[in-house]
Structure 1
Amino acid sequence: MWPNKSLLLATVVTALAACSAAPTSETPAGAEPAPSAHFRILQVNDSYKIEGLENGGVGGFARLRTLRRQLQADATPVLLLHGGDFLFPSVMSKYLQADAMVQVMNLLDGAPAAFDNEMMAVFGNHEFDTPDAGVLLRRIVQSDFSWISSNIRFNFSESAAAEPFGKRLPQVHDVLVKQIGGAKVGFFGITLDSRKQPYIEFDYDLPARRNAIRSAIDRLQSQGAAAIVALTHQDFDQDQWLAREYPEVNLIVGGHEHFFIEKQIGNTWITKADADNKSAIVHDVYLAGGKVSSSHRKIDLDQTIAKDPQVAAEVERQLQRLAGLFDKQGKDLKQVLGYTEHLLEGVEPAVRGRETALGNFLADTMRERMQTDIAFTNGGGIRINDNIPPGPVTLYDMEGLFYYDNKLVSFALTGQQLLDVLNNSVSKTHLGDGRFLQVSGIRFGYHAEPQADGGVKYRVEAGDVRIRPRGAKQDQALDLHKTYSVASTDFIWEHGSSDDYAIFGKGKGKTSPRRLDDGTAIGFRQTVEAALAKLPQRTITQRVEGRIVRLAP
Structure 2
Amino acid sequence: MNHLKWGGRILFISAVVCAASCSRIAKPGAAAPTENNMREAHFSILQVNDTYKVEGLENGHVGGFARLRTLRRQLQQGGKPVLMLHGGDFLFPSIMSKYLKADAMIRVLNLMDGDASAFDDDMVVVFGNHEFDDPDPGVLLGRIAQSDFAWLSSNIRYLSSEHSSGVPFSKRLGNVHDVLIKEFDGVKVGLFGITLDIKKPPYVGFDYALGARRAAIKQAIADLKAKGAAVIIALTHQDFDQDQWLAREFPEVNLIVGGHEHFYIEKAIGNTWITKADADNKSAVIHDVRVSPDGRVETSHQKIDLDDKTAKDAQVDAEVGKQLDRLAQAFKKQNKDLNQVVGQTRYLLEGVEPAVRGRETALGNFLADAMRERMKTDIAFINGGAIRINDNIPPGPITAYDMEGLFYFDNELVSFELSGAQLLEVLKNSVSKSHLGDGRFLQVSGLRFKYRAQQANGVYAYAIDPADVQIKPQGASVYTPIDPNKRYRVATVDFIWEKGFSDGYAIFAKGDGKSSPPRLDNGTAVSFRQAVEEAIGNLPNKTVTNRIEGRIIRLESNQ
Residues 173-212 of structure 1: per-residue CA shift (max 9 Å, x gap):
0001111222111010000000001000000000000000
What's 1:490 paired with? 494
| Partner-residue secondary structure (3-state), 1:127 | helix
Instruction: Determine the C-alpha separation between the residues in 1 that align with 2:449 and 2:28.
Output: 45
2:355 to 350, 361, 374: 350
What's 2:342 paired with? 337
Q: Which amino acid aligns with 2:89?
A: D
Contact 1:87 1:98 in 2 (8 A): yes
Instruction: Determine the C-alpha separation between the residues in 2 that align with 1:34 and 1:131.
Output: 53
1:233 and 2:233 are equivalent in the alignment: no
Q: Which amino acid aligns with 1:273?
A: A
2:312 to 304, 307, 310: 307
Contact 2:498 2:511 in 1 (8 A): no
What's 1:524 paired with? 528
What's 1:42 paired with? 46
Contact 1:35 1:287 in 2 (8 A): no
What's 2:216 paired with? 212
2:90 to 55, 73, 86: 86
What's 2:8 paired with? none
Once the two structures are TM-superposed, the CA of residue 158 in structure 1 deviates from its matched residue by 6.2
Q: Which amino acid aligns with 1:363?
A: A
Distance 1:75 1:197, change over 3 A: same
1:251 to 241, 251, 255: 255
Instruction: Determine the C-alpha separation between the residues in 2 that align with 1:178 and 1:470.
Output: 62
Once the two structures are TM-superposed, the CA of residue 33 in structure 1 deviates from its matched residue by 8.6
Distance 1:159 1:274, change over 3 A: closer
Once the two structures are TM-superposed, the CA of residue 531 in structure 1 deviates from its matched residue by 1.1
What's 1:295 paired with? 300
Contact 2:81 2:185 in 1 (8 A): no
> Kindly, what percent of the aligned residue pairs are identical?
67
Instruction: Determine the C-alpha separation between the residues in 2 that align with 1:319 and 1:535.
Output: 31
| Partner-residue secondary structure (3-state), 2:536 | helix
Could you list the structure 1 runs, at least 4 aligned residues long, displaced by more than 4 angstroms after superposition.
21-24, 32-35, 157-160
Instruction: Determine the C-alpha separation between the residues in 1 that align with 2:368 and 2:279.
Output: 25
Residues 490-519 of structure 1: per-residue CA shift (max 9 Å, x gap):
000000000000000122224201111121
Moved more, 454-463 or 109-118: 454-463
> Which structure 2 residues correspond to residues 50-449 of structure 1 after superposition, within 5 A?
50-156=54-160, 160-289=164-293, 290-449=295-454
Q: Which amino acid aligns with 1:224?
A: G
Instruction: Determine the C-alpha separation between the residues in 2 that align with 1:449 and 1:306.
Output: 41
Using the size of structure 2 for normalisation, the TM-score is 0.93
Q: Which amino acid aligns with 2:27?
A: S
Report the number of matched residues: 532
| Partner-residue secondary structure (3-state), 2:453 | strand
Once the two structures are TM-superposed, the CA of residue 427 in structure 1 deviates from its matched residue by 0.3
**Structure 1: tracts of 5 or more residues without a match:** 1-15
Distance 1:445 1:61, change over 3 A: same
Once the two structures are TM-superposed, the CA of residue 19 in structure 1 deviates from its matched residue by 1.5
Once the two structures are TM-superposed, the CA of residue 534 in structure 1 deviates from its matched residue by 1.2
Contact 2:178 2:192 in 1 (8 A): yes
1:499 to 500, 503, 512: 503
| Partner-residue secondary structure (3-state), 1:387 | coil
Q: Which amino acid aligns with 1:534?
A: N
| Partner-residue secondary structure (3-state), 1:388 | coil
Contact 1:23 1:248 in 2 (8 A): no
Instruction: Determine the C-alpha separation between the residues in 2 that align with 1:303 and 1:125.
Output: 30
Instruction: Determine the C-alpha separation between the residues in 2 that align with 1:159 and 1:509.
Output: 28
Contact 1:21 1:292 in 2 (8 A): no
Once the two structures are TM-superposed, the CA of residue 159 in structure 1 deviates from its matched residue by 7.1
Contact 1:22 1:268 in 2 (8 A): no
Instruction: Determine the C-alpha separation between the residues in 1 that align with 2:476 and 2:162.
Output: 60
**Structure 2: tracts of 5 or more residues without a match:** 1-19
Once the two structures are TM-superposed, the CA of residue 78 in structure 1 deviates from its matched residue by 0.6
| Partner-residue secondary structure (3-state), 1:327 | helix
Residues 517-543 of structure 1: per-residue CA shift (max 9 Å, x gap):
121110000110111111100000100
Instruction: Determine the C-alpha separation between the residues in 1 that align with 2:237 and 2:511.
Output: 29
Contact 1:22 1:248 in 2 (8 A): no
Instruction: Determine the C-alpha separation between the residues in 2 that align with 1:498 and 1:286.
Output: 43
RMSD of equivalent CA atoms: 1.7
Contact 2:181 2:189 in 1 (8 A): yes
Contact 2:161 2:203 in 1 (8 A): no
What's 2:6 paired with? none
Residues 208-256 of structure 1: per-residue CA shift (max 9 Å, x gap):
0000000000111111111100000000000000000000001000000
What's 1:13 paired with? none
Q: Which amino acid aligns with 1:19?
A: A
| Partner-residue secondary structure (3-state), 1:480 | coil
Instruction: Determine the C-alpha separation between the residues in 2 that align with 1:335 and 1:391.
Output: 13
Q: Which amino acid aligns with 1:86?
A: F
Q: Which amino acid aligns with 2:226?
A: S
Contact 1:259 1:272 in 2 (8 A): yes
| Partner-residue secondary structure (3-state), 2:280 | helix
Using the size of structure 1 for normalisation, the TM-score is 0.94
Once the two structures are TM-superposed, the CA of residue 297 in structure 1 deviates from its matched residue by 0.3
Instruction: Determine the C-alpha separation between the residues in 1 that align with 2:335 and 2:512.
Output: 44
Instruction: Determine the C-alpha separation between the residues in 1 that align with 2:109 and 2:378.
Output: 47
What's 2:538 paired with? 534
Q: Which amino acid aligns with 1:329?
A: Q
Once the two structures are TM-superposed, the CA of residue 58 in structure 1 deviates from its matched residue by 0.4
Instruction: Determine the C-alpha separation between the residues in 2 that align with 1:472 and 1:329.
Output: 43
1:461 and 2:465 are equivalent in the alignment: yes
Residues 409-432 of structure 1: per-residue CA shift (max 9 Å, x gap):
000000010000000000001000
Instruction: Determine the C-alpha separation between the residues in 2 that align with 1:224 and 1:535.
Output: 66
Instruction: Determine the C-alpha separation between the residues in 2 that align with 1:340 and 1:170.
Output: 49
